[in-house]
Chain A
Amino acid sequence: MRISPSGILRGIVSQTLGLVVDDGFIAVGAVAALVLTGLLASASIELVPHDALGVVLFGIVTIVLLGSLARAGRAARTHAVEASAAERPS
């Protein structure tokens, strides 16, 4: 265990960023969901009933979450296939 003041500082900075950003896809997706909801809320033409915007936000967040999980699942599957190929005797 190496401990230095710069190590602690780096840890605090990365932990502070890591508080909200773990997976870039989900972070960008969540921000996009908020921006889209904000645009719909402030649009001069009511494309979606105003009081349904909460449901719209929830729907987009759901898609982002499931999309992020699907990406992780595909990455895990690829990794598993590569690992089992490496274990197989040539």
Chain B
Amino acid sequence: MSHLGGLIASRSRPIVTAEFPSLDGGDIDTVAAALEPYRPYVDAVNITDNPAAHAHASNVSMAIAVHQLGVEPIMQVVCRDKNRLAAQADVVGASMHGVTTFCALTGDDVTAGDEPEARRVFDLDSPQLISIMNGISRGHYLSGRELKHPKELLIGAVENPFAPPADVRVRRAKTKVDAGARFLQLQIGYEPQLLEAFVEGVCGNRVAERAAILPTVIFTKTAGALRFMDNQVPGIHVPAAVIDRIAQADDPAEESYLMVREQVQHALSLPGVAGVHITDFRHDDSLRRLVNDLSIGPGATTQSAVSA
């Protein structure tokens, strides 16, 4: 069982995962340099798959590199760019290099990216992809053809509690967990009441017992970054009051950090939340500061202080 798989099973402390930045060339040293700021503070890193519909170094190559560098990769696979043959080939191929943790996503539409003229594939949707990955874990392709040396996979998915229809999100989480997901990383959100309602829902239908619920936060420095997300990033809504709080602060960067810390404390105070997923658009020492302030993550030496 992988490190992340062990934590999901034991729930011995809050899980910390983070989004690994996309790379556009270089070599293994480039990957190693990008990994170092994360290594001491996270349990696993998400390897994205052409995030926001922009081409980058492939998820398979990056996941293999990160695995070889000693950190557990969560290899994302989106439905937008590849058909069922290519998606299965990527999962099986990566697993041969020791990558056994995956996360299935629908993917932002091609219109969100810098090549909106690209053909969108969506041969599968994310619940189907989860189910197919589960089949690979059990030793067969979608066709039924057997794998020679199957590896047990840890499969996760995402859900967006902040997008309508709110009640459907809880049921959709169950659909994904029924299909084989064992962790659910949530979309970035700034409406705590919607997160609370979702978490209550997934506790009510026992999804939170069967899969680790990991809300996502993002480190930014300015109100402009929040406005950009609100306007440009599909599925993210930032209320005006949140943007105003940062815009009107004497030190917007510090206020932004404090807001994220509050979000993490709030998320981890909810029964049913197993940890957090962190995206860092600041590239400063905020991640280190956060895990130290809250005593979370693999480096924490004391019992989590988040609920104190």
Is B a genuine binding partner of A?
no
Using a CB–CB distance below 8 Å, which chain A residues touch chain B? none
Give B contacts to A, CB under 8 Å.
none
